[in-house]
Amino acid sequence: MSRIAATFARLGAQGRLGLIAYLTVGYPRLDATPALVEAAAESGADAIELGIPFSDPLADGRTIQAASQQALKGGVTVGRALEAASAARKKTEVPLLFMTYLNPILAFGLEPYGTASDKANLIAKTMTFFGP
């Protein structure tokens, strides 16, 4: 059973809702991401969504836009986000999910992204796409 399936099964058995925390990878600094993931898990997050910053985050609110801009200024890339997620995985067993836009993934490469995110033990990868 996957981590996410096990988490939702546990929540259902306990009759409670889950808490999914959201963190922008690289905010406030890239090296802080694994520790922030660990802190969120220790504080009760049932799963953690890691946002890969994007330069044109149209679907995000002001807070995530500002965090993304700071992370990008700090040098966060898809590759570095994958490395941070891999380091975070070593600190917790809670499900880790990536959230991003399609554009950075296409620039990184779909196959390399899938392979690297699987290697980092990310259980889900969600993307926002604004197509014609």
- Interhelix angle 33-42/78-89, nearest 10 degrees: 40
Spatial separation of the C-alpha atoms in residues 32 and 18, rounded to whole Å = 24
By DSSP bridging, strand 96-101 and strand 20-24 are unpaired
Does the annotation count 49 as an active-site position?
Answer: yes
- Active-site residue identified among 31, 42, 56, 60: 60
Burial label for 78, CB within 10 Å (0-12, 13-18, 19+), is buried
Does the annotation count 31 as an active-site position?
Answer: no
- Active-site residue identified among 49, 56, 83, 111: 49
Q: Which residue has the tokens 């699987």?
A: 118
- Tokens matching residue 88: 């975070």
The catalytic residue positions are: 49, 60
